[in-house]
Amino acid sequence: MRISENGIELIKRFEGCRLIAYKAVKTEEYYTIGYGHYGADVFKGMTISQLQAEEYLKKDLEKFENYVKNCVTTFSPTQNQFDALVSFAYNCGLASLMRLTKDRNARQVADHIPAYVYAGGQKLEGLVKRRNAE
C-alpha cells in the first residue's frame, strides 16, 4: 500500500513548505526544509526549489510508509487509515507510531491518536487539528 494523494495533501497542509532551512526548536540537532524534511543533509542557510521540496517529500514518504507497514500488524488498514498513520508517523516519528499501534486494533488506535497533541509539555492547537484530521 502507498499513501494516496489525499494523504499527501494532508501532510502538505499541516507541514507547510519552507524553501529556506530553519530550526523549529532551537535545541534541535538538525535543520528542517521543504515539507518537514529533517536531517544531517539540511544545513543552516540552505535553500531549495519547490521541485526539490517535492522530491524530498516523495523520498521521505517511502520511509514512513514502510514504518506503517512494519508497525501495523494487528489489523489491515484501509487507505484512509494508512494515510492517517503515515501522516502521524511523519509528524511524530517511529517511536510514537510504535507506541500508538502496539497490540491495538484500528478502533483502539483511533481512540488513542488524540493524545499526541503535546510538544515541549504544551498542548498545541495545530497538533489538535492535525490529529482530528488524521
Active-site positions read 15
Angle at 113 between CA 107 and CA 118, to 5 degrees: 165
Residue whose C-alpha cell is 502521524: 88
CA distance readout (Å), 42 to 4, 53, 71, 75, 106: 27, 12, 27, 36, 35
